[in-house]
Amino acid sequence: MKLLPNSESLIARAIRLLFLVSVTGLAACSTMQATDTGFLKNRSEMMTSKDGSTAYYRSPTPVDPHQVRSISVEWAMPIDAGVPENERARLISTLKTAISREAEALPRSAGGHPVVIQAVITRVESVNPALNVLTSVFLTVPLDRGGAAVEIQVLDAQTLQPLASMAHAYFVPITEFKARFSALAAAELALNAAAVELAKLLSEKS
């Protein structure tokens, strides 16, 4: 049977479309899961979101976000995970700065307790910019995505008991298009998103 003009091109386009739909469908259904490294003191008391991306705890004790005595951020991934030391330092700085910025943006809380904030970065998914250029050309969508997971606890500055705790994991959505073409951009966006979620948790009364 003789194919119609341009039929081969149409078939190629159909195959490409089916591949795109299947891959993006899988990506859309995939959610980064919150980690549990044993860092958080009260992990057993935390509630987990339906999709498993977040676990959280909030004590009824009021917190004054303007009395943060210290913020510490550590790297909790294996050294052989493939993230160079300079990139680890950059991501640690990103999260620490974001936590400080979001806490300072909150209103003061009369009678709120002073706190110390401790955080660990437990997962980082960088992107491959070259791969995303290729998939953008052939599939119109950059498929390699990135993100990060963290665990954060807010402790009473005097008793060191948890007043708020959070495990947060986040894959950056496709709407953050530019982040798909820089190796660490998606992870940095995810860390900033975690700081925003922490601020929301701190602003809750219980």
Q: Do residue 110 and residue 152 come from a single domain?
A: yes
Q: Do residue 117 and residue 199 come from a single domain?
A: yes
pLDDT at residue number 39: 97
Tell me which residue range forms the domain holding 21: 1-30
pLDDT at residue number 155: 98
116 forms bridges with which residues in the sheet? 70, 155
pLDDT in tens, 115-136: 999 999 999 987 655 444 445 4
Coil, helix or strand at residue 78: coil
Q: Do residue 100 and residue 11 come from a single domain?
A: no
Q: Do residue 83 and residue 18 come from a single domain?
A: no
Identify the segments of the chain with pLDDT beneath 50.
1-5, 7, 10-12, 14-15, 17-19, 21-22, 25-29, 130-134, 136-140, 142, 177, 179, 181, 206
CA distances from 78 to 75, 84, 120, 124 (A): 8, 11, 12, 11
Q: How far apart are CA 168 and CA 52, in angstroms?
A: 9
Is residue 41 within 8 A of residue 153, CB to CB? The reply is: yes
Q: Do residue 52 and residue 137 come from a single domain?
A: yes
Q: Do residue 1 and residue 61 come from a single domain?
A: no
- Strand order, beta sheet including 147-156: 47-48, 54-58, 162-171, 147-156, 113-125, 63-75
Count CA within 13 A, CB hemisphere, residue 189.
22
pTM to 2 decimals?
0.78
Q: Do residue 71 and residue 105 come from a single domain?
A: yes
Q: How far apart are CA 101 and CA 95, in angstroms?
A: 10
Is residue 163 within 8 A of residue 115, CB to CB? The reply is: yes
pLDDT at residue number 182: 58
CATH number at residue 107: 3.40.50
Q: Do residue 97 and residue 45 come from a single domain?
A: yes
Q: Do residue 11 and residue 97 come from a single domain?
A: no
Is residue 155 within 8 A of residue 161, CB to CB? The reply is: yes
Q: Do residue 56 and residue 37 come from a single domain?
A: yes
Count CA within 13 A, CB hemisphere, residue 80.
0
Q: Do residue 22 and residue 39 come from a single domain?
A: no
Number of domains in the chain: 2
Q: Do residue 57 and residue 93 come from a single domain?
A: yes
**Phi, psi for residue 127 in degrees, rounded to 5:** -110, 160
Q: How far apart are CA 203 and CA 108, in angstroms?
A: 10
